Amino acid sequence: MQDVTTGNKEFKPNIVAFCCNWCSYAGADLAGSSRLTYPANVKIIRVPCSCRVNPMFVLKAFQQGADGVILCGCHPGDCHYVTGNYYTRRRMALLFSFLNYMGIEKERTRVEWVSAAEGAKFSAVMNDFVKTVTELGENKRLTDLRVKEGK
């Protein structure tokens, strides 16, 4: 798998990835142990279940200057906590449509299902997401300008 390279070499988006402990975090571990690369600007936060991700966390990330936010959970039907990822799916569909309404391109957000066995998928998803966000450019809409200045 190739790393993403785009025309705009200056801009490297900052990406927050929320991964559920049981499937996607393990999938990311498998991507690591299989040495499947993806860009270094993806940083993972471990949560017990994708349904632990409060829409507030996503908004916070954008406000703090993240250029993209991705949530990864177990495949529908395979949630370790039975139904958690169904809640995630509904909540995020609603949140993303709000974000879109507010002018944050919906491509900056994504929900993906990655199982513990899908290291290759994790890497592919991250490469693709970074590429998409890189093309969109910097996120300015929600960013607290004080945060960016302080960089």
Partner 1 sequence: MQRIGVFICWCGSNIAATVDVKKVAETIKAEPGVVYSENYQYMCSENGQQLIKNAIKEHNLTAIVVGACSPRMHEATFRKAAEAAGLNPYMVEIANIREHCSWIHKDMDEATEKAVVLVRTAIAKVKLNAPLMSGESPVVKRALVIGGGIAGIQAALDIADAGFEVDIVEKNATIGGRMAQLDKTFPTLDCSACILTPKMVDCAQHEKIDILSYSEVEEVKGFVGNFNVKIRRKARYVDETKCTGCKICMEKCPSKKGLNDFNMGLNTRPAIYIPFAQAIPNVAVIDPEQCIKMKTGKCGICQKFCGVGAIDYTQKDEFIDRQYGAIVVATGFKPIALDNFNEYGYADNKDVITSLELERLMNAAGPSDGVLVRPSDGKHPKVITFIQCVGSRDTSGCGKPYCSKICCMYTAKHAMLIREKYPDTEVHVFYIDVRTPGKNYDEFYRRAAEQYGVDYIKGMVGKVYNVNGKLMVQGSNLIDNEQITIESDLVVLATAIEPEPSVRKIATLLTASIDTNNFLTESHAKLRPVESPTAGVYLAGVCQGPKDIPETVSQASACAAKVIGLLVKDKLKTNACVATPDEMMCNGCSQCANVCAYGAITYVEKEFRLGGGKTEVRRVVSVNPAVCQGCGACTVTCPSGAMDLKGFSSKQIMSEVEAICKM
Residue in the block written with tokens 């990330």: 61
Helix or strand or coil: residue 126? helix
Residue in the block written with tokens 């169904």: 86
Torsion of CA 146, 134, 75, 106, to 10 degrees: 70
Q: From 98-106, 113-121, 129-137, give the range in contact with partner 1 by CB under 8 A.
A: 113-121
E strands present in 4-137: 15-20, 42-47, 68-73, 109-113
- Dist CA 118 CA 99 (whole Å): 29
- Binding test (CB under 8 A) with partner 1, winner from 4, 24, 61, 134: 61
71 is an interface residue for partner 1 by CB under 8 A: no
- Dist CA 12 CA 109 (whole Å): 16
Contact letters for partner 1, residues 77-96 (x by CB under 8 A): xxxxxxxx--x---x-----
- Binding test (CB under 8 A) with partner 1, winner from 6, 8, 48, 93: 48
Q: How far is the CB of 22 from partner 1 (least distance, A)?
A: 6
116 is an interface residue for partner 1 by CB under 8 A: yes
Contact set with partner 1 (CB under 8 A): 14, 16, 21-23, 25-26, 28-29, 31-33, 35-38, 40, 43-49, 51-57, 60-61, 64-66, 74, 77-84, 87, 91, 115-118, 123, 147, 150-151
